[in-house]
Structure 1
Amino acid sequence: MAAWRRFAKRNLPMIAVIVVIAVAVAFVLADRWRRGAFVFGAATLLAAAIRLVMPSDRVGLLEVRSKAFDVGALLAVGGAIVWLAVSIDPLGTG
């Protein structure tokens, strides 16, 4: 149990992002794909914010490359996904 607690504490930022992604998947499975895409983009932006403000030894699996690269890539991808989710025509779904 102590090993699980250490793992969870070290990877808490990544676990938070995964929970938001799970919510996005639930929206998509419930046929709310635009809302799911928006939440997925928000999860990516959340990952960028966490990577920006937390020290590298605390972000766990969110650290892939340098901080500048990780934040820039996550902001670009998250921003693009949110923009697409907001700008796509709802196709009569209101």
Structure 2
Amino acid sequence: MLSRPGLDLRNRLPVHLPIGMVAVIVAIGMVRVLTQHWRQGAVLIGGALLVAALFRAVVPDDRVGLLAVRSRAIDVLCYLAFATLMIVVAWTITPPKLT
């Protein structure tokens, strides 16, 4: 079966786009952390891990680039676990009372 050029995800997606998008989200999160908004920054970094899990689950192996470390299932589970952990920790830590 022949596929038409331009319709296949492999032809349209540059190899460095998934890791680039994740890196941009992480950079924005780090800027938030460095400007004293660590909770928002941590949630953004957790969101970047969720985006990485989505890319790893959907994008073919030859186009996912540096997001592929191990098998697809292990990568997705690790990204989801770390994202969940980071977001939950950021939401549950309460600031200390200064009284």
What residue in structure 2 maps to residue 73 of structure 1? 78
User: d(CA) in 2 for partners of 1:16 and 1:74?
Assistant: 15
User: d(CA) in 1 for partners of 2:40 and 2:22?
Assistant: 16
What residue in structure 2 maps to residue 83 of structure 1? 88
1:45 to 31, 42, 50: 50
Unaligned runs of 5+ in 1: 1-7
What residue in structure 2 maps to residue 59 of structure 1? 64
2:19 to 14, 21, 30: 14
Dislocated runs of 4+, deviation >4 Å:
none
Q: Give the % identical residues.
A: 42
The alignment yields a C-alpha RMSD, in angstroms, of: 1.4
Give the TM-score of the pair, scaled to structure 2: 0.81
Q: Secondary structure at the match of 1:10?
A: coil
Give the TM-score of the pair, scaled to structure 1: 0.85
User: d(CA) in 1 for partners of 2:96 and 2:43?
Assistant: 16
Unaligned runs of 5+ in 2: 1-12
